[in-house]
Structure 1
C-alpha cells in the first residue's frame, strides 16, 4: 500500500512539474508574436489558458490592467509550486497516518 501511495504522489508531482514547464514555454513563446500564433502556440494556449483563467478574475485582473503585466501566470505558477512542495507532502502525511504506515 505504501508503494502505491508513493507512486501516485510521485506521478502527481511529475505532472505538476511538467505542467509548470509547459507554462514557462508558453510564456516565453508569448514574447514572439509568430510563435504565439503558431500551431504549437495555439495548442499550448488550449492547455494553459483554462488554468490561468482561474486567476484572471477579480483583483488580479485589475492589477494586471494597472501594471500592463499578466500576473495570472506568476500566481498560477506559485500555486502549482505550493501544491507540489507543501500540499502533496501534507496529503501524504495524512494518508500514511490514517493507514497506519
Structure 2
C-alpha cells in the first residue's frame, strides 16, 4: 500500500510540475501575438486560463489593465509551488503514518 501511495505522490507531483511549465509557456506566448493566436497558443490558453483567471479579479484586474502587467501567472505558480512543496508532502506523510 505504501508503494501505491509513493507512486501516487510522484504522479501528482509530476502533474503539478507539468502544469507549472504550461503556465510559464502560456505567459511567454502571451507576449508574442503570432504565438498566442496560433492553434497551440489558443489550446494552451484554454488549459491554463481557468486557473490563472481565478487570480485576475479585483485589484489585480485593475493593475493588469492600467499597467499592462498581469501578475496572475506568478501568483498561480506560487500557489502551486506551495501545494507541491508543503500541502501535498504533508498530506502524504500523514497517509504514510496512518498506513504504518
TM (norm. structure 2) is: 0.91
- Partner Cα distance (1:60, 1:31) in 2: 18
Unmatched tracts of structure 1, length 5 or more: none
Give the secondary structure class of the aligned counterpart of 2:17.
Answer: helix
Q: CA deviation at 1:66?
A: 4.4
Mapped contact 2:2–2:99 kept (Cα < 8 A)? no
Aligned residues: 100
Q: CA deviation at 1:98?
A: 1.8
Q: How does 1:21-100 map to 2 (within 5 A)?
A: 21-100=21-100
Deviates most, 5-14 or 22-31: 22-31
CA-to-aligned-CA distance 1:16-70 (integer Å, 9 cap, x gap) = 1111111111111111111100000000010000011111122322333444311
Unmatched tracts of structure 2, length 5 or more: none
- Partner Cα distance (1:93, 1:59) in 2: 37
C-alpha RMSD over aligned residues:
1.3
Mapped contact 2:26–2:41 kept (Cα < 8 A)? yes
